Amino acid sequence: TWTAKDASGNTQTCTQTVTVSDTQKPTITCPSNVTAVADVNSCAATGVVLGTPTTTDNCTGTITVTNNAPSSFPIGITTVTWT
């Protein structure tokens, strides 16, 4: 709030709004690649432990991390995307 006052003691005020935006993206480093063995009598692996990515952000607070990993990984290579 700004206030102007003249020699006669008259005053007038106005307000100013300051908006600060966070435009810096957080960083994320994926966990190491994983090799799993197919479940017994199956052509897929379940219960695969992916690990946890490392994240940072310039502002404090909680960083939400998600991935698109399936619950069952078929034989072959599956790319998991972390966001």
Q: What are the residue boundaries of the structural domains of the chain, listed by start?
A: 24-77
Listed residue (68, 83, 66) closest to 27, CA to CA: 83
- The residue ranking higher by pLDDT, 61 or 24, is 24
Q: Is a pLDDT exceeding 90 seen at residue 37?
A: yes
Q: Is a pLDDT exceeding 90 seen at residue 53?
A: yes
pTM for the structure as a whole: 0.75
CA distances from 56 to 27, 42, 47, 81 (A): 5, 39, 27, 17
Q: Is a pLDDT exceeding 90 seen at residue 60?
A: no
Residue linked to tokens 């017994």: 40
Q: Is a pLDDT exceeding 90 seen at residue 77?
A: yes
Q: Number of C-alpha atoms within 13 angstroms, CB side, residue 2?
A: 5
**pLDDT average, residue stretch 32-56:** 97
* Cβ pair 50, 34 in contact under 8 A: yes
